[in-house]
Amino acid sequence: MTRPLSDRLTVTVTGGIAEVALNRPDKLNAMDEAMFDALSQAGRDLAAQKGLRAVILHGIGRGFCAGIDTALLMEFAGRVDTLREAILTPLPDAAANRFQHPCTVWADLPVPVIAALHGPVYGAGLQLALGADIRLAAPDAALSIMEAKWGLIPDMGITRLLPPLMRADQALELMLTARVLAATEAAALGLLTRIAEDPLDAARTLARVIAGRNPAAARGVKALVRAAWPGDDTQLNLEAELQAAIIGTPHQMEAATASLQNRPPRFG
């Protein structure tokens, strides 16, 4: 069964294995509001899917996801008050807000989720990948916690998703610098499970192995690992409060504008 969710995602379910493909290749699968909402809905739909055994996340085209769409970032400047309200308001049935949920929903799924990564995996794209349980990356994958480039903090569930993988000092350095990591360094730091020449093929092979296990045991293993290696939801509100205080301020807008104009920011 294959179905599109808006024109941003394609979801295919075969033999208990779901493939969720980001389908905005002309924008390197950059996230806009339609993509945020489609990812959230896909996760909700799959949570209710009977017989689901495993999920694969991947991107169509030249990269997994280049982060937030810069056009959306600039558009947000015109409606900062409503944006802050959305950031500070959890969804009715979740601890996460509208922008965190597209990433955290994959951690909440009861079945293992595998991200197959290639090309740019930046900002929102990396935080989406962190929502998966396993990350397989091509040698050409390039990863970055890129929000500092726009004068922002990473706020799409990173306080829940990153702490089990990295030391605090390593995470802090990446958050402050927004530097881009080659796949080999990302794997050494714990951001990747392993490097694969063809990560989508490797993800499909792994998903078939998982689908062949006792489904109750596979779900139990995920629940066990997610419970024993926290982060958890307790700091999502802190992300929201910090981001709401930063977004739309003169310094944040100057950081974003300077990045778009490829010049050093002038904070005064």
pLDDT digits (tens, 9 = 90+) for 42-68: 999 999 999 999 999 999 999 999 999
For residue 250 the two structure tokens come to 């003169």
Distance, CA of 200 to CA of 206 (rounded, Å): 10
Residue 121 scores a pLDDT above 90: yes
Bridge partners for 21 per DSSP: 10, 58
Pick the closest to residue 9 from 47, 58, 46, 54 (CA basis): 58
CB atoms within 10 A of CB 225: 12
Residue 5: pLDDT band (50, 70, 90) is low
Residue 4: pLDDT band (50, 70, 90) is low
For residue 243 the two structure tokens come to 């981001």
Residue for token pair 């890129």: 146
Please tell me the predicted confidence (pLDDT) of residue 75: 85
Please tell me the predicted confidence (pLDDT) of residue 2: 58
SS3 10: strand
pLDDT digits (tens, 9 = 90+) for 229-254: 888 888 899 999 999 999 999 999 99
Residue 187 scores a pLDDT above 70: yes
Kindly give the residue spans of alpha helices, DSSP state H, lying in the chain. 33-47, 70-76, 80-88, 101-108, 124-131, 158-161, 168-177, 183-189, 199-211, 215-228, 236-246, 250-260
User: Residue-wise over 179-197: b if at least 16 C-beta within 10 A, else e?
Assistant: ebbebeebbebebbbebbe
Distance, CA of 224 to CA of 105 (rounded, Å): 17
Distance, CA of 101 to CA of 103 (rounded, Å): 5
Residue for token pair 């951001």: 191
DSSP percent split of the chain into helix, strand, coil, nearest 5:
50, 15, 35
Q: Which amino acid is at 213?
A: R
| pTM, rounded to two decimals | 0.92
pLDDT digits (tens, 9 = 90+) for 122-178: 999 999 999 999 999 999 999 999 999 999 999 999 999 999 999 999 999 999 999
Distance, CA of 201 to CA of 191 (rounded, Å): 20
Mean local confidence (pLDDT), 214-223: 94
Please tell me the predicted confidence (pLDDT) of residue 1: 54
Please tell me the predicted confidence (pLDDT) of residue 136: 98
What is the CATH architecture assignment of 2-197+217-260? Alpha-Beta Complex (3.90)
Distance, CA of 159 to CA of 148 (rounded, Å): 16
